[in-house]
Chain A
Amino acid sequence: MAEVLVHVDHLDGAVRKPTLELLTLARRLGDPVAVFLGAGADAAAGVLAEHGAVRILTADAPEFADYAIVPKVDALQAAHDAVRPAAVLLPSSAEGKEIAARLAVRLDSGIITDAVDLSTDDQGPVATQSVFAAAYTTTSRVTQGTPIITVKPNSATPEAAPAAGTAEPLTVTFGDAATGTKVTSRTARESTGRPELTEAAIVVSGGRGVGGAENFAVIEALADSLGAAVGASRAAVDAGWYPHSHQVGQTGKSVSPQLYVAAGISGAIQHRAGMQTSKTIVAVNKDAEAPIFELVDYGVVGDLFEVLPKLTEEIKARKG
Chain B
Amino acid sequence: MSLRIVVCVKYVPDATGDRHFAEDWTLDRDDVDGLLSELDEYAVEQALQIAESAREAGEEAEITVLTVGPEDAADALRKALSMGADKAVHVEDDDLHGTDALGTSLVLAKAIEHIGYDLVVCGMASTDGAMGVLPAMLAERLSVPQATLLSELTVAGGTVTGRRDGDAATERLSAQLPAVVSVTDQSGEARYPSFKGIMAAKKKPVEALDLEDLDLDAERVGLAGSRTEVISATERPARTAGEIVTDEGEGAGQLAGFLAGQKFI
Contacts and interface: CB of A to CB of B under 8 A. Distances in A.
Interface of A: 11, 68-70, 73, 93-95, 97-102, 104-106, 108-114, 126, 130-145, 177, 180-189, 198, 202, 226, 244-245, 250-251, 258-259, 269-270, 273, 280-282, 284, 288, 293-303, 306-311, 313-315, 318-319
A188 B218 CA distance: 46
Contacts of B170: 186-187, 189
Contact of B171 (A104, A137, A185): A185
B253 A310 contact: yes
Given A98-B146, A282-B258, A314-B253, A186 B228 contact: no
A180 B176 contact: yes
Given A94-B149, A101-B136, A186-B170, 7 more contacts: A104-B102, A110-B226, A140-B231, A181-B145, A181-B147, A185-B171, A318-B260
A97 B132 contact: yes
A251 B244 CA distance: 29
Contacts of B165: 244-245
Contacts of B233: 136-138
9 contacts: A114-B131, A131-B130, A133-B15, A138-B232, A145-B227, A180-B176, A245-B165, A250-B125, A314-B253
A314 B252 contact: yes
A177 B185 CA distance: 28
B112 to A, nearest CB: 14
Contact of A108 (B102, B125, B175, B256): B102
Interface string B39-69: 1000000000000000000000000000000
The secondary structure that dominates the A interface is mixed
Interface in B193-241: 226-236, 239
A222 to B, nearest CB: 10
B1 interface: no
B234 A137 contact: yes
A249 B124 CA distance: 14
B136 A69 contact: yes
B82 interface: no
A142 B6 CA distance: 30
B168 A189 contact: yes
A315 B143 CA distance: 56
B243 A136 contact: no
Contacts of A313: 252
A140 B98 CA distance: 14
Given A105-B140, A182-B175, A307-B255, A139 B226 contact: no
Contact of B228 (A142, A202, A288, A297): A142
B226 A299 contact: no
Contacts of B102: 104-105, 108-111
A141 B229 contact: yes
Contact of A302 (B145, B227, B247, B265): B247
Given A68-B146, A185-B172, A306 B230 contact: no
B265 to A, nearest CB: 5
Contact of B247 (A112, A180, A306): A306
B178 to A, nearest CB: 10
Interface in B133-175: 133-137, 139-141, 143-149, 161, 164-175
B190 interface: no
The 6 A-B residue pairs with the shortest CB-CB distance in the complex, in nearest-first order: A302-B247, A110-B227, A180-B145, A310-B252, A101-B133, A101-B136
Contacts of A104: 101-102, 133, 137, 227
A130 B257 CA distance: 31
B2 interface: no
B139 A102 contact: yes
A109 B227 contact: yes
Contacts of B22: none
B101 to A, nearest CB: 6
A303 B247 contact: yes
B251 A184 contact: no
Nearest to B14: A269
Contacts of A145: 227
A181 B160 CA distance: 10
B62 to A, nearest CB: 24
B53 to A, nearest CB: 20
